[in-house]
Amino acid sequence: MAGLCIGIAGAGLLGRLLAWRLARGGHRVTVFDPAAGPAPSFDGTGAAGFTAAGMLSPLAELDNATPALAAQGWRAIGLWQAVAQALDAPALMRRRGSLMLAHRGDLGAAQRVLARLETAPAGFPTPQALAPAALAELEPALQAANAWLLPQEGQIDTVATLEQLHRQVRGVGWRWGTRVADVSPGRLTLEGGEALAFDLAIDVRGAGARPALPVRGVRGETVWLRLAGHGLTRPVRLLHPRHRVYLVPRSADLLILGASEVESEDRSPVSLKSAVELMSAAHSVMPALAEARIERLDRNLRPALPDNEPRTELGDGLLRLNGLFRHGWLLAPALVEEALARAALVPALEAAA
Ligand SMILES: Cc1cc2nc3c(=O)[nH]c(=O)nc-3n(C[C@H](O)[C@H](O)[C@H](O)COP(=O)(O)OP(=O)(O)OC[C@H]3O[C@@H](n4cnc5c(N)ncnc54)[C@H](O)[C@@H]3O)c2cc1C
């Protein structure tokens, strides 16, 4: 089915990925978003997709997700590779595995997480324990008594990917500064009352989709650290009894440190408590960070449904996708491909090997 007129509410992660896939499939697409333009504002408003660190960790996320979601995430990594190739920007993502670290006194907390990882679906690689010398060889910038390599996990440059998905799509109309008040079958109603008719209306407003969905925002905070020649080449997760902390090398001199998880829709600036906890935990495994410069403190809301699981609702003239919570980047291409296949809107994207 090609040539449909499709309206999308939300130009975040899902909105841009859907617009790109549907426009390439020959549909006429218009996207609506209250943001002033396509670039990130880094002020707590706009798409959570820009704030995300970009870990693609189906195995490590088994600590917070079901084996079925992990399997979807595993498939999605190959789909991201295919998207990056189609965008002619393979450097948007990397797949060198990730590391889990634990300090000597935190081995109990680490063993609880490792037990969760044993619920991985068949075919998943298993965590490989690394002695301190092996860790020093793999990532000389790190130090920890206990380390595990999770082979084939990945990472994606979230900001650059959202920019490319917007820049490289042809024939999509972007209506910035436009809030959608309601999404119903074949119709988007804008704030102010104007109602627009479409063959298909898509609701991907993330945390802004209430009251259509019982979605809530879960606050997350990140720190951008600038350190020339930091040397880290893969994402690192610190297994700590109180904090969930990870470091993602975005470029040769930039690291994204995240992330707090607070049951609150507060979009105000990053708290001292979160900043101190994140930075001291990161410094404890990467001493060179003492000289890093704090370039940005960012925060946003992860869109979550009551069961913390993603949800796809597909009916005549209406598609809603939401609840991607802390796994949005991990899951998005798999969820999008599944929804588009069910709606028979575009030919399937083949995952890269
Ligand atoms: C701190 C942090 C770290 C994260 N780290 C990771 C990670 O490492 N790995 C991972 O997989 N995931 C991560 N995530 C999760 C991921 O970013 C989200 O799951 C994902 O962005 C959700 O995508 P979405 O398109 O549903 O929502 P969003 O990306 O938030 O996009 C929603 C869009 O809808 C727009 N909108 C809102 N209301 C309206 C309206 N009324 N009308 C029109 N448009 C509207 C918004 O402006 C926005 O552009 C992280 C999130 C946060 C906050």
Q: Cα of 7 to ligand 1 centre, how many Å?
A: 19
Please tell me the distance from the alpha carbon of residue 132 to that of residue 286, in angstroms, as a whole number: 14
* H helix runs in the chain, sequence order: 13-24, 48-51, 67-86, 107-117, 132-138, 158-167, 272-285, 328-342
In whole numbers, what is the pLDDT of the chain averaged over residues?
Answer: 95
Please give the average per-residue pLDDT across 28-55, as a whole number: 97
Q: What is the pLDDT of residues 227-251, one digit of tens each?
A: 999 999 999 999 987 878 999 999 9
- Are the beta carbons of 221 and 278 closer than 8 angstroms? yes
What's the pLDDT at 353? 64
Q: pLDDT confidence of 44, banded at 50, 70, 90? A: very high
Q: What distance in Å separates the CA atoms of residue 114 and residue 59, rounded to the nearest whole number?
A: 10
Residues with CB under 6 A from ligand 1: 9-15, 32-35, 46-49, 51-55, 179-180, 204-206, 208, 220, 222, 258-259, 300, 302-303, 322, 324-330
Pocket test for ligand 1, best of 8, 13, 178 (most atoms within 8 A of CB): 13
- The Cβ of residue 302 has, within 10 Å, a number of other Cβ atoms equal to 23
pLDDT tens-digit map of 207-222: 999 999 999 999 999 9
Q: Across residues 108-130, what is the average pLDDT?
A: 90
Q: Which 3 state secondary structure label does DSSP give 125?
A: coil
Distance CA 267, CA 296 (A): 15
The pLDDT score that the predictor gives to residue 134 is 96
Report all structural domains of the chain as residue ranges with CATH numbers, in order of start. 5-342 (3.50.50.60)
pLDDT of residue 349: 86
Instruction: Determine the residue type at 94.
Output: R
Model pLDDT, residue 239 = 92
Whole-angstrom Cα distance, residue 312 to residue 333?
13
Per-residue pLDDT of 290-338, as tens digits, reads: 999 999 999 999 999 999 999 999 999 999 999 999 999 999 999 999 9
Question: Tell me, what's the pLDDT at 346?
Answer: 85
